Amino acid sequence: MTVPKITLTIAGNDASGGAGIAADLKTFAEFGTYGIAALTTIATMDPDNNWRHGVTAIDAQVVADQLKTATAGPKISALKTGMLPNVAVINVIADSIKQNNLENIVIDPVMVCKGEDEVLNPENADALRDVLTPLATVVTPNLFEAGQLSGLGIIHDLETMKNAAKAIFDLGAKNVVIKGGKGLIGAKAIDLFYDGTEFTVLETEKIEPAYNHGAGCTFAAAVTAGLAKGLSPKEAVVKAKDFVTEAISSGFQYNQFVGPVFHSGYRLNRQDSI
Ligand code: PXL
């Protein structure tokens, strides 16, 4: 009997399937790990109201109960967090990580959904910074989230990305990867990895049109699965960039409002296995 590597996502559901636990579980499967999920939030998007997002929180006690279920099996090789609705849920997750001595922790500090300009919950941003970031093996903010976590605000260039990565490392994360993605001006999609000593700039050509809903979740899930399989944080991040680039290349228009990545893109486009 072979027990596969177990990977856990603690995140929200997006019923359109691009982001959240759907993205994570599909990505975990592509990496050959056994994905499990604890649901924190139900995100809804209304096609009759310009895809306006709604967020329903799962009760913190129910999140705690799910984590009890999740940790009652084989050792969890790696986990990631995604959309978290409030401070009570964040505290439940931190407690479970500590009590169960969980390792290989990827914190995706989701603060806002693409296209939405409202931060999920202002005190959430503080708890992501103060409670979860110090537990992170790898923290994976996008440009907006890196600006919030570091206190540097809006980030427009690689130099500021580097300063933000240093500031986030100083919060206690062991490794930081800032998902610049297509957010900087220029032809390249740029992500920045920092391990406290060395910066690694990961560059690819921008993909147009970018059907990239769920790209951030997919990237963080790929890092999680890579860590579970024994890759170093840097190796896991390099592989995740490759994986998400193929997922974006295979993205498609879901409706007039959204175009998700296709999480199976790497397997369908590439001859080599992950
Ligand atoms: O991309 C951020 C995100 C994370 N998790 C869920 C989401 C979204 C954005 O839509 O719905 C569940």
This prediction has a pTM of 0.97
Q: In the predicted model, what is the mean pLDDT of residues 113-139?
A: 85
Residue 83 Cβ < 6 Å to ligand 1: yes
Q: What is the pLDDT of residue 273?
A: 85
Q: In the predicted model, what is the mean pLDDT of residues 108-137?
A: 86
Residue 12 Cβ < 6 Å to ligand 1: yes
Q: In the predicted model, what is the mean pLDDT of residues 142-148?
A: 95
CA dihedral (248, 246, 128, 80) positive or negative = positive
d(CA 187, CA 206): 6
Residues with Cβ within 8 Å of 245's Cβ and at least 6 positions away in sequence, in order, are 189, 204, 207
Domain-located, residue 96: yes
Distance 185 CA to ligand 1 centre (A): 24
Better-scored residue on pLDDT, 271 or 242: 242
d(CA 241, CA 239): 5
Residue 92: CATH number of its domain: 3.40.1190.20
pLDDT tens for 21-31 read 999 999 999 99
Distance 132 CA to ligand 1 centre (A): 18
Q: In the predicted model, what is the mean pLDDT of residues 175-200?
A: 96
**Strands 176-178 and 188-194, how do they pair?**
antiparallel
Distance 215 CA to ligand 1 centre (A): 10
pLDDT at 115 over 60: no
Mutate to test the pocket of ligand 1, among 16, 46, 107, 113 (most ligand atoms within 8 A of CB): 113
Backbone dihedral angles phi then psi of residue 83, each to the nearest 5 degrees: -70, 125
d(CA 223, CA 243): 10
Domain-located, residue 215: yes
Beta-bridged to residue 201, according to DSSP, are 192
Residue 18 Cβ < 6 Å to ligand 1: no
Q: What is the pLDDT of residue 118?
A: 59
Long-range CB pairs of 230-233, under 8 A, 24+ apart, other chains included: 233/137, 233/138, 233/174, 233/175, 233/193, 233/195
Distance 3 CA to ligand 1 centre (A): 30
Q: What is the pLDDT of residue 117?
A: 56
Q: Which domain holds residue 166?
A: 6-267
Distance 113 CA to ligand 1 centre (A): 6
Domain-located, residue 1: no
Average pLDDT, the chain: 96
Closest atom of ligand 1 to CA, residue 216: 1
Q: Are 200 and 234 within 8 A, CB to CB?
A: yes
Domain-located, residue 274: no
Q: In the predicted model, what is the mean pLDDT of residues 160-166?
A: 98
Domain-located, residue 263: yes
Residue 215 Cβ < 6 Å to ligand 1: no
Alpha carbon distances (Å) from 121 to 98, 101, 110, 132, 237 = 24, 28, 10, 15, 28
Q: What is the pLDDT of residue 210?
A: 85
The total number of structural domains in the chain stands at: 1
